[in-house]
């Protein structure tokens, strides 16, 4: 999701602990360079740091996808995520392109346990439509201030991999939804590397 002042990326970790931080660094660097060249300006392009949340590949992934899809609805800019144009995950999933696709549909099909691309498209539309009917489309700190979201086992595993820096943090939650909260500031693009995998 590309908005007027920030972006949301949902990335799949292939097992390399540097994969996501390097990807973010590359995207941020190239975007800033391109913008500065085009506008003939110098200086920082990004105002703030990025925040990363590890998400378990199940219903938590579905909730995260829908949360991102509804970003511009929450902002009051669109009544439906399809109205935001071609720079949204919603339209990228619903109108799958064969060339220059940004989303790996086959990976999403696998992660979400769908039967194929059509099943993914139909399910995705239904998830978004259901979320639009519900009250409370407000910002949810679960996706903006947590280090990990998922089952207790998943979140405990992420906490363990993060090591001594996070020993004092508690895994909190109930009824299958657990979180490792991060009260700190978001991380610098060139900052910490997180050894996450299997999410």
Min mean pLDDT across 62-66, 76-80, 98-102, 128-132 is at: 98-102
Confidence band, pLDDT 50/70/90 cuts, at residue 93: very high
* More confident: 87 or 116: 116
* For residues 32-54, average pLDDT: 82
Q: What percentage of the chain has pLDDT greater than the value 90?
A: 24
The mean pLDDT value of the chain amounts to: 81
Report the residue count for the chain: 199
Q: What percentage of the chain has pLDDT greater than the value 70?
A: 86
Give strand pairing partners of 187.
50
pLDDT in tens, 99-147: 777 788 889 999 999 999 999 999 999 999 999 988 656 667 777 778 8
* More confident: 3 or 63: 63
pLDDT in tens, 135-184: 656 667 777 778 889 999 999 888 888 877 777 788 888 878 889 887 55
pLDDT given at position 41: 87
DSSP state letters, the chain: -B-SS-B-------S-TTHHHHHHHHHHHHHHHHHHHHHT--S-S--S-B---EE-TTHHHHHHHHHHHTHHHHTTS-SSGGGG-TTSHHHHHHT--SSS-SS-HHHHHHHHT-SSHHHHHHHHHHHHHHHHHSS--S--HHHHSEEEEE-HHHHHHHHHHHGGGGTTPPEEEETTEEEEE--SPPBPTTS--------
pLDDT given at position 110: 92
- Measured between alpha carbons, how far is 68 from 66 in angstroms, rounded to an integer? 5
* More confident: 185 or 126: 126
> Dihedral sign, CA of 174, 175, 177, 178?
positive
Q: Which two tokens stand for residue 36?
A: 């500065």
pLDDT given at position 116: 92
pLDDT given at position 197: 37
- Measured between alpha carbons, how far is 8 from 1 in angstroms, rounded to an integer? 5
- Measured between alpha carbons, how far is 137 from 71 in angstroms, rounded to an integer? 9
Q: State residue 44 phi and psi, 5-degree precision.
A: -70, 140
């Amino acid at each position: 999701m590309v908005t007027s002042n920030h972006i949301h990326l949902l990335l799949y970790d292939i097992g390399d602990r540097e994969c996501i931080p390097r990807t973010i660094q590359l995207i941020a660097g190239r975007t800033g360079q391109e913008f500065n060249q085009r506008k003939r300006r110098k200086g920082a392009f990004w105002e703030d740091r990025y925040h990363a949340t590890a998400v378990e590949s199940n219903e938590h992934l579905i909730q995260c996808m829908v949360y991102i899809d509804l970003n511009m609805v929450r902002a009051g800019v669109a009544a439906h995520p399809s109205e935001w144009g071609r720079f949204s995950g919603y339209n990228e999933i619903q109108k799958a392109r064969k060339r220059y696709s940004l989303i790996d549909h086959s990976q999403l099909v696998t992660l979400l346990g769908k039967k194929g691309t059509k099943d993914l498209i139909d399910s995705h539309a239904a998830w978004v439509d259901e979320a639009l009917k519900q009250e409370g489309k407000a910002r949810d700190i679960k996706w903006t201030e947590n280090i990990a979201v998922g089952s207790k086992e998943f979140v405990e595993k992420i906490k363990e991999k993060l090591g001594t820096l996070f020993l004092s943090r508690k895994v909190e939650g109930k009824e299958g939804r657990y979180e490792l909260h991060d009260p700190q500031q978001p991380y610098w693009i060139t900052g910490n590397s997180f050894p996450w995998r299997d999410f």
